[in-house]
Amino acid sequence: MHPALDQVDWEKEGEAVVELLRALLRFDTTNPPGNEAECVAFLADTLRGAGVEPEVLSPARGRANLVARLPGGDGGAAPLLLNGHVDVVPAEAGRWRHPPFAGEVHDGAVWGRGAVDMKHMVAMSVAVVGLLARLGVPLRRDLKLAAVADEEAGCAAGSAWLVDHHPDKVRAGHAIGEVGGATFYLGGRPFYPVQVAEKGIAWLRATASGATGHGSIPRDDNAVVRLSEFLARVGRRKLPTHPSPEVRRFLEALGAIQGRAGRAALPLLLRPRLSELVLRRGVRDPGMARLLSALLRNTASPTVVHAGSKVNVIPGRAEAELDGRIAVGSSEAELLAELRALAGPGIELELLGPSQPPTVTPPGDALFDLLATVVAEHHPGAVAVPTVTPGFTDAKFWSDLGAACYGFTPVRLEPTDPDFAAMFHGDDERVPVAGLQAGLRMLADAVARHCC
Ligand SMILES: [Zn+2]
């Protein structure tokens, strides 16, 4: 632990972070509509209580983002941004064992929608900023905090808006936020994922055109048939692999923790000719095989289809929307070219809006090594694993301003704790009290070592 934190009463801080999280969980910030303003106002009061003067920035009625800054010295070291979103996805209360917006403690865990995604990180980050402010420890760099709205609906009223309207308040050299930091066990050994890259997004529309006509006389150039054939090709054929250093590093780390067989097999996924064979024969868990396949290539999942209005009229047009994702190491242009190669006659492809390139934090960055050291010291025997996600987080926007982003919201889990990953957007979302309190110490230590 950093010496600046030697005198901290961790029992007291641990109790306070649990109470803070419970309070946050009682605000129903289901998005849509979000309604984050009250929750954010409460966070602002909490920080003021610790002597920090935050700013609340509102893009629209009922929506709010909080930013705060503990100033560092004049050394010019790049700021660190702790970040989390306060909105949550809907919860079907009838399916939960305890109410999702009550912040209750049962069986040694804090229950509620957002307990793991991701009010726990908001609570820990506010606690760490408040703690360092109260201690009055001199900082070598600015420590910034952003508690944002709207991540679950695409970030337009949250991180994307802050980056557009108040870039100086959230610009940082590094950002720590989603997704990672919760212990997982393989063969009894503890690991901590640290997200270092995420895929890009290119949402697309495919439009098929053809001749109209009477449904009683089938035609080969029927737009619905053309679109269906295209969608079937997209669904069945795998686009080419795009091996990147980040995915290689993830596979090597994953292979290393799976013993000799994994060490030999997983890197073979990067070889275009062997990739499919290894996925089919060498990766037993179908969910893991799907995840690895998605990380290796550009993908496009057909999700919305529109065509026709009457059963006996062949329409001249059929449309589909596809959730396109750009592999780390690839580009929008490559994804479009790969899909056009499958398109066939009468199919046009266009982007639904501007695409987002992949977010990448290159290897060799000292903060990753620091997080790995913190993991190893706080949890003897544990190892940090650099991970890549097919999904999307606020990191996309912080990285637009130049931040190297890590997904690390530390929670120390025991092998007997419930499956943490399954609780993202799931029923009975909860975070173990002891794991949260250990996570607070890890986050505080990491921030102190980087900033003090
Ligand atoms: Zn989240």
Res 7: pLDDT: 93
Tell me, in angstroms, the distance from the centre of ligand 1 to residue 176's CA. Answer: 13
- The three-class DSSP label of residue 343 is coil
- pLDDT computed for residue 181 by the predictor: 96
Tell me, in angstroms, the distance from the centre of ligand 1 to residue 117's CA. 4
Q: What does the pLDDT look like over 303-346, one tens digit per residue?
A: 999 999 999 999 999 999 999 999 999 999 999 999 999 998 89
Provide CB contacts within 8 A for 138, sequence distance 6+.
Answer: 73, 452
CA of 104 to the centre of ligand 1 (A): 21
Q: Which positions ≥6 away from 395 have C-beta within 8 Å? A: 175, 177, 178, 195, 198, 359, 403, 405, 407
d(CA 252, CA 234) in angstroms, rounded, equals 29
Determine the Cα–Cα distance for residues 413 and 132; give it in Å rounded to an integer: 25
What is the CA(185)–ligand 1 centre distance, in A?
Answer: 22
Confidence of residue 284 (pLDDT cuts 50, 70, 90): confident
Residue 291 has pLDDT above 90, yes or no: no
- 392 C-alpha to ligand 1 centroid (Å): 9
Q: 188: alpha, beta or left, given left = phi > 0 and alpha = psi -120 to 50?
A: left
Q: If you measure from the C-alpha of residue 401 to the centroid of ligand 1, how many angstroms do you get, rounded to a whole number?
A: 20
Query: Residue 73 above 90 pLDDT?
Result: no
Mean pLDDT of 172-197: 93
In angstroms, what is the span from residue 118 Cα to ligand 1's centroid? 5
Task: Output the pTM of the full model.
Answer: 0.90
